[in-house]
Chain A
Amino acid sequence: MENSLNKEQIIADLLPQKFGRRGVIWVAILVGFCLVGLFAYYRQARYGLIVTSMRDYASWGIYISNFVFFVAISLVGSLITAVLRLTGVSWSTPLTRISEIIAVSAITFAAIIIVVDMGRPERFINLLFYGRLQSPIIWDVIVITTYFFISLLLLYIPLMPDLKIMIEAKQKEGKKVPKFYLFLGSFWKDTFMQSRLSKRAIHILCIAIIPVAFCIHTVTSWLFATTYRPGWDSTNFGAYFISGAFLVGAGAVLLAMVVLRKVYNLDKYITNDHFDRMGKITVMLGMLYLYFNVNEYLVPAFKMKKSEADHLNDLFTGSFAPVFWSAIFLNMLLPITILLFKRGRRPIPMFIAGIMIVVGAWFKRYLIVTPTLLHPFLPMHNVPKSYLHYFPSWEEWAIAMGSLAGALLVITIFVRIFPIIPIKETISEFHETTHK
């Protein structure tokens, strides 16, 4: 952060700004995707899951891939906000709120997409009344709900001082303060006791969110690992999923950093130093995920058990090979290579690396879910041809794209109404830096 900044300048820079023309077009595109997704879901609700390409074998398709992707990306909240905060890393302050809003938005759509995957969504309520505690699906429902509330609190509590700043700024300008802001933040007086309680709450949340975040993705991995199938029968799945989740979360933050810095002229707050440090973290996470991938694929490939051979061969050299190798290169090898060098840890290369990581991660989830289902232990005999392959129908694509657009829309709306970089904390850090 530049030392030439003063309090007024920081507030002026970081208060939410109205959308320009580009912002309106962006929102319109997202709303368009959401509407098409809603229409596709209407068709699915009207005609049933037959409108999808999911059949008896590939009973989990891109909805579940999307679910795993959303859960993964939501883990960024715990990484940036909690892990870095607890370890005393101060440079991450401008990235904490971006991470939390990505987490809240992603976990919301993870919950939505799992209901979309149900042929009879009204039966979701049965999970609450008749769910078995022995089932990992119930654990997933509980842990997703818990993570959602923790993320929401971790988003809201540090936002309270900024809401006061926003209310004061509006009053200073003589503008009417929306009731929404008043309800959320008018009680914040910035007293010693309030600050103390707020700090305690944030500290507790940062501690609580880490095990819950680990649980959420471990339990998601257990939905697969507790099912005896080629490719899922692994004791490594929890760690494999968590490392992948941290990587895709970091990739999403890279993208958000570049876009928000460019759109809102935040060069003074999201500096090249932030990119450099975030790039180094991403390289570390990429290597960690690569390590788990080597374990997941190389070890079974070395043994090539007959029951697993079809699945592995199909991934390495068969019909899934183009997607598999693209995912490995896009999600891990290329971003690691780019970000390993100092010149790669600049906004434009990092934006490219971020896109690679996120897109590669989405396809990686698809590869975890679908090829396994198409390679059961018992061969598929005497089944209709449509059962042997899976390619999503237009309704599935539309719903999946609609949900991704929905998540981006939530982030966009948040950026419009709340400061995306914590104002109060930035001012405090500025004071600390200048006093030193």
Chain B
Amino acid sequence: MKPLISKYFGMLALMLVLFGSTVVFAQGADKSNITIDIAYYVLNNRVPYLVITTKTKVEKKFIPVENMSVKVFMDKDSSGNMLGSIGEVKTNYKGKAVVMLPPSMKSNWDALERHSFFATSAETKKYGSADGELTISKARISIDTADDRNIKVIVTQLKNKEWIPVKGVEVKIGIKRFDSYLPVGDEPTYTTDSLGVATAEFKKNKMPGDKTGNIILVARIEENDQFGNITAEKQAPWGANYVYTTTYGERTLWSTRLRTPFWLLVLAYSIFLSVWGTLIYLIVLLLKIRKLGKLDADQV
């Protein structure tokens, strides 16, 4: 009897081990791959910031991964250790998170002409771990509007502690509108020459500006492999004066109830009072009829 029990016990133990290992394997196999992208942005040569994007592929389409914790670092030493932690961010419903370089990293940032950024996310129940990397060279972009209606955009790069012009960079030059940019001329992009200058002629005459005619010119380097996304803005008095007029606060048909137009108030209340005045008169007549009925017939 005893060998029989130990035989069954052994089989049971084997099944449990096999079943358990299958479950562990299945969990690992079910996890989706995740991709981390890093984009580098600088606006008006101020403090750079990074946009971290997490996404995964479902049925041949990328969909954003939200609520993903991502640790962001800058630069590694020669043995591959991360040097500076920029911070930990969590992606939003679009799978995006924004992180700025903290002031504590200024000395690290100033020390080099090129920097690498690293983003890592740990393994979660649903997704495996993932890494992303981006290396950029420091560059600047500026707008010169000294020549009337002629825009000069200068692109420079930090080399040997000096800002030197960069040739052959594609720059978009436009005017800032509500939620987009309107190209200033016919060309979609302009390329810098050996002096690092891209020149565009301002052709959008009578473009509405602010009330003194100011418009905002924008020069952008977008998704450049070497420099990332760099934007410069500059105000220029080349637009048409635009004085914003609003009917808000006036008595209109589309304003709030307390700002009903006078003509409508007069019209509506006149009709209302005349009709309901008549109805009240009829009620009075009715009461009179009632009262007459209660009087002696001879008195009427």
Which residues of A come within 8 Å of B, CB atoms?
130-134, 139, 142, 146, 149-150, 153, 157, 160, 186-189, 191-194, 197-198, 200-201, 204-205, 208, 212
**A-contacting residues, B261-288, CB 8 Å:** 261, 264-265, 268, 272, 275-276, 278-279, 281-282, 285-286, 288
Q: Is the CB of B260 within 8 A of A133?
A: yes
Q: Is the CB of A134 within 8 A of B300?
A: no
Known: A189-B292, A191-B300, A194-B293. A134 touches B254 (CB 8 A): yes
- Minimum CB–CB distance for A200 against chain B, Å: 7
Q: Can you name the residue of chain B whose Cβ is closest to the Cβ of A200?
A: B285
Q: Is the CB of B297 within 8 A of A157?
A: no
Q: B106 in the interface, Cβ–Cβ < 8 Å?
A: no
Q: Is the CB of A201 within 8 A of B282?
A: yes
**A-contacting residues, B231-263, CB 8 Å:** 253-257, 260-261
Q: Can you name the residue of chain B whose Cβ is closest to the Cβ of A195?
A: B289
Separation of A198 and B285 alpha carbons in the complex (Å) = 8
Q: Can you name the residue of chain A whose Cβ is closest to the Cβ of B272?
A: A142
Q: Is the CB of A130 within 8 A of B257?
A: yes
Q: B125 in the interface, Cβ–Cβ < 8 Å?
A: no
Q: Is the CB of B260 within 8 A of A187?
A: no
Q: Is the CB of B264 within 8 A of A160?
A: no
Separation of A133 and B268 alpha carbons in the complex (Å) = 8
Residues of B with C-beta under 8 A to A139 = 268
Q: Is the CB of A188 within 8 A of B275?
A: no
Known A134-B253, A157-B282; 9 more pairs at CB < 8 Å: A131-B257, A132-B260, A134-B255, A153-B279, A160-B289, A187-B292, A191-B292, A204-B281, A208-B275
Chain B interfacial residues counted at CB < 8 A: 27
Separation of A104 and B281 alpha carbons in the complex (Å) = 21
Q: Can you name the residue of chain A whose Cβ is closest to the Cβ of B257?
A: A132
Point out the residue from A146, A186, A188, A192 that lies within 8 Å of B279, measured CB to CB: A146
Known: A146-B279, A201-B286. A191 touches B260 (CB 8 A): no
Residues of A with C-beta under 8 A to B253 = 134
Q: Is the CB of A189 within 8 A of B282?
A: no
Q: Is the CB of A134 within 8 A of B260?
A: yes
Known: A142-B272, A146-B275. A133 touches B265 (CB 8 A): yes
Separation of A153 and B70 alpha carbons in the complex (Å) = 75
Residues of A with C-beta under 8 A to B257 = 130-134
Separation of A208 and B280 alpha carbons in the complex (Å) = 12
Q: Is the CB of B276 within 8 A of A146?
A: yes
Q: B290 in the interface, Cβ–Cβ < 8 Å?
A: yes
Q: Is the CB of A188 within 8 A of B282?
A: no
Q: Is the CB of A204 within 8 A of B282?
A: yes
Residues of A with C-beta under 8 A to B272 = 142
Separation of A133 and B256 alpha carbons in the complex (Å) = 9
- Minimum CB–CB distance for B243 against chain A, Å: 27
Separation of A134 and B285 alpha carbons in the complex (Å) = 34
Q: B2 in the interface, Cβ–Cβ < 8 Å?
A: no
Q: Is the CB of A187 within 8 A of B300?
A: no
Point out the residue from B254, B268, B275, B288 that lies within 8 Å of A212, measured CB to CB: B275
Q: B294 in the interface, Cβ–Cβ < 8 Å?
A: yes
- Minimum CB–CB distance for A292 against chain B, Å: 25
Residues of A with C-beta under 8 A to B261 = 134
Q: Can you name the residue of chain A whose Cβ is closest to the Cβ of B300?
A: A191
Separation of A149 and B264 alpha carbons in the complex (Å) = 24
Residues of B with C-beta under 8 A to A149 = 279
22 residue pairs A–B, Cβ–Cβ below 8 Å: A132-B257, A133-B260, A133-B268, A134-B253, A134-B261, A146-B276, A187-B293, A189-B293, A191-B297, A191-B300, A194-B292, A194-B293, A197-B285, A197-B288, A197-B292, A198-B289, A200-B285, A201-B285, A201-B286, A201-B289, A204-B281, A212-B275
Separation of A150 and B290 alpha carbons in the complex (Å) = 19
Separation of A193 and B260 alpha carbons in the complex (Å) = 45
- Minimum CB–CB distance for A295 against chain B, Å: 27
- Minimum CB–CB distance for A387 against chain B, Å: 23
Separation of A133 and B266 alpha carbons in the complex (Å) = 11
